[in-house]
Amino acid sequence: MRDILIPPGGIVPGEGEVEINAGLPVTVVRITNRGAVPVHLTAHFHVFEANPDLCFDRRKAFGMRPDIPVGWAIRIEPGQTLEVPLVPIRGRRIVRGFHGLVDGPLDTADLDALLQELVNRGFCHQPEE
């Protein structure tokens, strides 16, 4: 290993091609930006708690992050709808920050209560059929 500082989630590739998130299940969520400004979803963002102006099935996005490399982002323009691939948050599966909704372990959170709190705060939640 080289003597370099590696940020959390960083990848130090070896020779040849590297496949990120190999073997993880991918969930595709259709997201529409109903806001007036572009929104960026970065590689480690808990998509469930993303910008209130993003309309999508937040239940499907619970415990998920975008399936993109570290340092990348998905940009969603005002009025634009994108299909965004998501993968499960790994490791200890503890979420802190964002909008302060989960603020702890994902696997013991009350998803129904969290969804109700999101809706109460004005977040757009659009369940898929």
Secondary structure string (H, E, C) spanning the chain: CCCCCCCCCCCCCCCCCCCCCCCCCCEEEEEEECCCCCEEEECCCCHHHCCCCEEECHHHHCCEEECCCCCCEEEECCCCEEEEEEEECCCCCEECCCCCCCCEEHHHCCHHHHHHHHHHCCCCECCCC
- Establish if 96 belongs to a structural domain: yes
- Establish if 60 belongs to a structural domain: yes
Q: Give the least confident one: 19-23, 91-95, 118-122.
A: 19-23
Contacts of 77 (CB under 8 A, 6+ apart): 33, 38
- Establish if 108 belongs to a structural domain: yes
Contacts of 37 (CB under 8 A, 6+ apart): 78
- Establish if 41 belongs to a structural domain: yes
- Establish if 7 belongs to a structural domain: no
Total domains in the chain come to 1
Between 2 and 98, the more confident residue is 98
> The domain that contains 40 carries what CATH number?
2.10.150.10
pLDDT above 70: residue 3: no
What is the token pair recorded at 60?
A: 């499907």
Mind listing the pLDDT tens digit for each residue in 30-46? 999 999 999 999 999 99
- Establish if 125 belongs to a structural domain: no
For residue 75, give its domain range: 27-120
pTM, rounded to two decimals: 0.84
- Going by C-alpha positions, the residue among 27, 33, 66, 71 that lies closest to residue 52 is 33
- Establish if 48 belongs to a structural domain: yes
- Establish if 10 belongs to a structural domain: no
